[in-house]
Structure 1
C-alpha cells in the first residue's frame, strides 16, 4: 500500500530522472572533445609536429608519457556514439541512464529496511 509520502517521493525521482535526461540530451552537444585546460598544461614544453604517421610530440613535456585509455575506442568515447558527433546527445542520455541505474541499484541494496517485529515469544 502506498502512502502520499511514497507517491511524492516516487514522483520526485521520476521528475528528477526526466530532467536529467533532457539536460543530458541537450547539453551534451555543448561538450567539447578538443583539448581542455589540463591537456594544454601537459603540453607545455612540447610542440605537436605533423608526420606521415600522424601527430608526434617533440620537446620535453608530461604529455609525452601519455597513453590512450583502454576504452578510447569504446562506443561512447569522446562524447559520441561510435565516433559520430551527431549522436553526442545520445551518448549523454546513455551516460545518465547508466548512472541512474547504478545509483538506483546501490540505493536499493543499501536502503534501510524496517526492523523486524519482535517474536511473540519474546514478550
Structure 2
C-alpha cells in the first residue's frame, strides 16, 4: 500500500472520547456566547402585547430552570454547568436506550 492510498482508521473509543470532549466544550463554554435575544415564541408574545400575562411553568423553581444552575450568581459558570449537566443527562439516556435496544449476543 502506498502512502497516498493508506487510510488511518480511528477507533470507536477515540471517536467517542473526541465527540464527548467537543460536546462538553460546546455546552460548557461556547453556550455562553449564544444569543441573548428572546426565542421566537417570546418575541411574538412581546410584539403582540401579551408577554406580560405569561406565568412561570411548574418546574420554574427547579435547580436547572432557565438554562442556569440555581444558586450560582456567575452567569457564565451557571450556564456552562447547566449545559454540561444537560449533556451528561442526554448521554446517559442515550446509553440506557441503546442498552435496552441492543440485541442479545448470538441473535
TM-score when normalising by structure 1: 0.63
Point out the structure with max Rg over C-alpha.
Answer: 1
RMSD between superposed Cα atoms in Å: 2.6
Displacement of 1:45 in angstroms is 3.3
Q: Secondary structure of 1:43's partner?
A: helix
Structure 2 residue runs of 5 or longer lacking an equivalent are 1-8
Change (3 A) 1:111 1:32: same
- Aligned partner of 1:73 in structure 2 is 61
- Aligned partner of 2:18 in structure 1 is 15
Structure 1 residue runs of 5 or longer lacking an equivalent are 49-56, 58-63, 117-123
Q: How many residues align?
A: 96
- Structure with more of its chain in strand, by fraction: 1
**Does 2:14 correspond to 1:26?**
no
Q: Residues of 2 paired with 1:40 and 1:112: CA distance?
A: 46
Q: Residues of 1 paired with 2:48 and 2:20: CA distance?
A: 45
Q: Residues of 2 paired with 1:93 and 1:105: CA distance?
A: 18
Q: Secondary structure of 1:44's partner?
A: helix
**How big is each residue's C-alpha offset from its partner over 1:18-70, in whole Å with a ceiling of 9 and x where there is no partner?**
2111111112212456522221212333277xxxxxxxx3xxxxxx4x43221
TM-score when normalising by structure 2: 0.71
